Structure 1
Amino acid sequence: AFQGISILAGALVTFGGASTIANLIAGFVVIYTRAFQLGDRIKVSEYRGVVIEKTILSTRICNGNNEIITIPNSILIASSIINYSATIRDLKEPLVIDTTITLGYDVPWRLVYETLINSALETTDIVDDPEPYVWQTSLDDFYISYELRVYTNKTKSVAIGNIYTELHQHIQDKCAEAGIEIMSPHYAAVRDGHQNTIPENYLPKDYQTPGFRLHPLESLFKKNMDKDNQ
């Protein structure tokens, strides 16, 4: 019995010591690689927050909900670390944040660009130098995906959340002012009675929206008469 307990205790110490040594080595690696500093906003796997403490064995971050997350250093060196603060501190460049909106092909892309950029310029904490810009990230079956990319010097979770909220509010208002309906349309195979999705300035001057055509009425009446005769 004593031998069994000794073997179990030795195994626990061995495996526990291996984990501790791994965290110790990882702690030195994290320190000397300068992946982040206290006060930096980082993302590790699914965790995102501000670094509030660095020790040899673990690192603690505080997320947007004021939850304290303790991450073993062995996990840090085995994962990709995204540092949102390093761009401003080390490269002296603002942070880029983005948002995506999908609109139909009937909306002129130049109008979309102008509307989205104006929405960004009116948003607090978004800088105008470098200027915001828009990418068309995909041409899907029914709509175009527009990605608005903006610059900010704010890196705190609360500040980023406020920027996104205000930016989306301005996008809704500016699109409404420009007559742009925010939606991802889906088209059926029947085109009768529907406006062509090509922007109006590309259509012929004499173009008119066709009326919706139904099956000839005489054939419908004929079917009813045949049923009555039967």
Structure 2
Amino acid sequence: MASDPLSAAETRRYARHLVLKGMGGRGQQALKAARVLVVGAGGLGSPAIAYLAAAGVGTLGIIDNDTVSLSNLQRQMIHTTAGIGMGKAASAERFVQALNPEITVRLHTERLTPATAAAILADYDLVLDGTDNLATRRAVAAAAEALQRPLVSGAVSMFDGQVTVFVPDGPRFADLYPEAASDDDLPSCEATGILGPLTGVIGTLMAMEAIKLLTGIGEPLIGRVLTYDSQGARFSEFSF
């Protein structure tokens, strides 16, 4: 991926990245050249969008067909009370433009389905999935696998969360979530609740994994699931 040189304003904006050993100008240029899609602008998508925008991802796609409601604001921190009733994708764009006008935002306000997923994902280099149902998650994973796109996947429930990374030729989504698994087997956020800051922890970890994949820094969570127990303040890991 190639991108234009950093402007004077970008050099100041990303100064802490540019002096960071392992990131530097090369890493920042990789972020600027990247096209990243965030599926879902809710609890997990909100912090992921915020940190990817702040980090300088050159093109940030946001897909969500839902609207902002009052009950979202306890955890979906890029949306505001004034934005209630507004489309989440448009609300997210407003946040991003206010935070970092240097990047390009692409909005997708249609519902992602198995029939539309591949066409949407095809324009991006990397995908983050923060949706809350297995049907959509399977559609995203199948399209990412078919297109050979890395996928950062996060999930939360009540007090616990997890994040992992799928890449071409690595363990597959179906290895972690068997076809027999159903949304009927999983507790819904509406029914069981969710601790607000938990989504911030997992969503921020998703942004971290995306930045690592784009810049080549560190060891991504490929074939590994990082779990977080907020009540016990413990991180754990298992391989699959």
- TM-score using structure 2 length: 0.21
Q: Which has the higher contact order (CA 8 A, sep 6+)?
A: 2
- TM-score using structure 1 length: 0.22
Q: Which has the larger radius of gyration?
A: 1
